[in-house]
């Protein structure tokens, strides 16, 4: 599985970070608002996926799943947290996430070289705009935060994202697919975990399809979007730096 010592070191390092973020309370999760938190545990998985081979990427996903399973066994208290004791909810979606993330990264890398790297830049901007719009709508409808404050914050965050993408494009336009892969892969992770919960433990999301869809929409509009923003901002510079170091 390992071609050289460097690959073993990389995999060990990423695995240790994943387990540390998973098992140490309040380290892998950031509470933003009551009921709204984002996880950063998937970020080292994404960084590793963009560096290592397919088999090693899947192994990182497995470590992510084990960390989630162990965390549930150690400190789960709410019904949804207890659901993650089931490996089909805690482990399987994370393995699939790492595999999909690997394929997404290499597909976008191929597309960027075959078509144009500018596509990745605009793809990120459009997805950010749509995601932040959903977030603003959700905060207004559910949390009843002042509409002016919401949209000022959303616009400011979007402008910050645009500035960051321009900065990355100037430094290495041919590497813009890294941000796209981080963004899409994070949303895929959210969808996979929610799908596992809905299929295996539907009682947590209401017995009707409409109830489940409403809950999934709310989580995607908050946790999913915020995690995608965090992943894109953090993963891109780390991967660019690691690629330079590896060279």
Once rounded to an integer, what is the mean pLDDT over residues 229-241? 78
Residue 135 has pLDDT above 80, yes or no: no
Is the pLDDT at 183 greater than 50? The verdict is: yes
Torsion of CA 148, 151, 155, 161, to 10 degrees: 140
> Has residue 94 got a pLDDT over 90?
yes
Q: What share of the chain is helix, strand, coil (3-state, %, to 5)?
A: 80, 5, 15
Residue 132 has pLDDT above 50, yes or no: yes
CA-based end-to-end distance of the chain:
21
What lies within 8 Å, CB to CB, of 188 at 6+ separation is: 97, 100, 101, 104
Separation of alpha carbons 189 and 96, rounded Å: 8
The model's pTM is 0.79
Q: For residue 39, give the H/E element and its range.
A: strand 36-39
Which band of pLDDT confidence, cut at 50, 70 and 90, is reported for residue 143?
A: low
Domains of the chain with bracketed CATH:
5-246 (1.10.1760.20)
Q: Are 124 and 182 a contacting pair, CB within 8 Å?
A: no
Token output for 173: 């336009």
For residue 153, pLDDT beyond 50? yes
Give the residue, 163 or 210, on which the prediction is more confident: 163
């Amino acid at each position: 599985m390992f071609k050289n010592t460097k690959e073993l070191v990389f995999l060990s390092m990423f695995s240790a970070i994943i387990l540390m973020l998973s098992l140490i309370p309040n380290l892998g999760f950031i509470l933003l608002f009551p009921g709204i938190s984002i996880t950063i545990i998937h970020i080292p998985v994404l960084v590793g996926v963009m560096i290592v081979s397919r088999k090693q990427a899947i192994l990182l996903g497995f470590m992510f799943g084990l960390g989630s399973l162990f965390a549930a066994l150690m400190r789960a208290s709410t019904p949804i947290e207890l659901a993650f004791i089931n490996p089909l909810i805690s482990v399987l979606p994370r393995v699939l996430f790492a595999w999909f993330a690997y394929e997404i990264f290499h597909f976008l890398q191929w597309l960027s070289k075959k078509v144009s790297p500018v596509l990745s830049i605009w793809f990120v901007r459009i997805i950010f705009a749509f995601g932040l719009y959903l977030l603003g709508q959700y905060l207004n409808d559910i949390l009843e935060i002042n509409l002016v404050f919401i949209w000022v914050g959303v616009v400011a965050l979007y402008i910050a994202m645009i500035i960051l993408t321009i900065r990355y494009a100037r430094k290495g336009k041919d590497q813009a697919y890294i941000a796209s892969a981080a963004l899409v892969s994070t949303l895929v992770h959210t969808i996979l975990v929610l799908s596992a919960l809905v299929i295996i433990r539907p009682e947590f999301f209401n017995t009707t399809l409409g109830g489940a869809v409403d809950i999934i929409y709310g989580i995607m509009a908050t946790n999913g979007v915020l995690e995608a923003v965090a992943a894109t901002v953090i993963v891109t510079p780390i991967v660019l730096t690691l690629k330079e170091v590896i060279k």
